[in-house]
Amino acid sequence: MKKYILVTGGAGFVGSYLTKELIKENFHVVVVDDLSNGKIENITKEIEFYKLDIGDEADLLKIPLHPFQCVIHLAAQSSNAISFINPIHDLNTNQIGTYNIINFCIERKISRFIFTSSMSAYGKPQQLPTKESSPLNPDSFYAVHKVASEHYIRIVSKQNRIHSTIFRLYTTYGHGQNLDNVNQGLLSIYLSYILNNKPIIVKGSKFRRRDIIHVTDVVNAIILSLNCKKSYGKIYNLGTGETNTVEELIQLLTTGLGFEKKEYPVIYKSGTSGDPFTTFAAITKAKRDLGWRPKISAKAGIQMTIKPYLTDTITNFGKKK
């Protein structure tokens, strides 16, 4: 008997890694994605794919009546900066989209729901490392809509006996992020500048500290949660519990690509509204309930991320490596 699972945003960065693992777990994976940020190349032949907008409730009627065991909701506009530029789009995708998907679960009698929220829910954290019980103080429309979505899920899950799990993702990175989007993804933004032979533009202080987590560690946590009853009705941080300065992360990128320390030009500009100075996840809860551990350090993860580009010719403003 087939095990059906629905993944929203499955053509995106995290989704592309997750669907591969779900297929290994013998799931029949159905993906819905509007391809606004995801890529059709991420949809493999084993995946049943539907291009649709989760913000349009009528669009969800196109999804076949499969007996889904679980819905994993990844689809999102995931940039604080972009949410200020187009808050209505962010509202439609992140808040209304989540509302539509959780209602889809009610209508289809799907009792398992997993949602990826964001560390942005904390705003400027009041405690470090930041626990899941820390006050929520969203400082961007993106964060506001993520927090609202968490509350929708909490209320609807209790009313309809849906077993939900929420993950607040910290800065997630790895090979395959959309390098065309310079408003989303800390490391992918910097890598994009380097690969296009341009100075790295940093919005904010080089002394800001970031807890970054490799995408495979994120996916591992989601997979472990699928049948973990301890995770029902709970919220988890997904970070590494370690931090690096922005300057350190840039040096890991540039030296990994063959540039001397501080050789690559970096331009610092004023920060983005809603951007905290430090992110630092408390991850004891995920370790305890899921038996999960982040396995990839920042140094190893960045090396994994840039390795596919090392065969390309990269110039340092006309000077070849």
3-state helix, strand, coil in the chain (%, to 5): 40, 20, 40
Q: Which residues contact 226 (CB under 8 A, 6 or more apart)?
A: 25, 70, 112, 114
127 and 134 Cβ atoms separated by less than 8 Å: yes
- Among 16, 12, 112, CA closest to 68: 112
Tell me, yes or no, if 142 is annotated catalytic.
Answer: yes
Tokens coding 153 = 């899920």
Q: What is the Cα–Cα distance from 88 to 91, expressed in whole angstroms?
A: 5
- Among 286, 297, 314, CA closest to 249: 297
Q: What is the Cα–Cα distance from 43 to 16, expressed in whole angstroms?
A: 7
Measured in residues, the chain has a length of 321
Q: Give the distance, in angstroms, between the CA of residue 133 and the centroid of all CA atoms in the same chain.
A: 21
Catalytic residue among 142, 152, 190, 264: 142
53 and 214 Cβ atoms separated by less than 8 Å: no
Strand, coil or helix: what is 298? helix
Q: Which residues contact 258 (CB under 8 A, 6 or more apart)?
A: 310, 314, 321
149 and 280 Cβ atoms separated by less than 8 Å: no
8 and 209 Cβ atoms separated by less than 8 Å: no
Residues involved in catalysis: 142
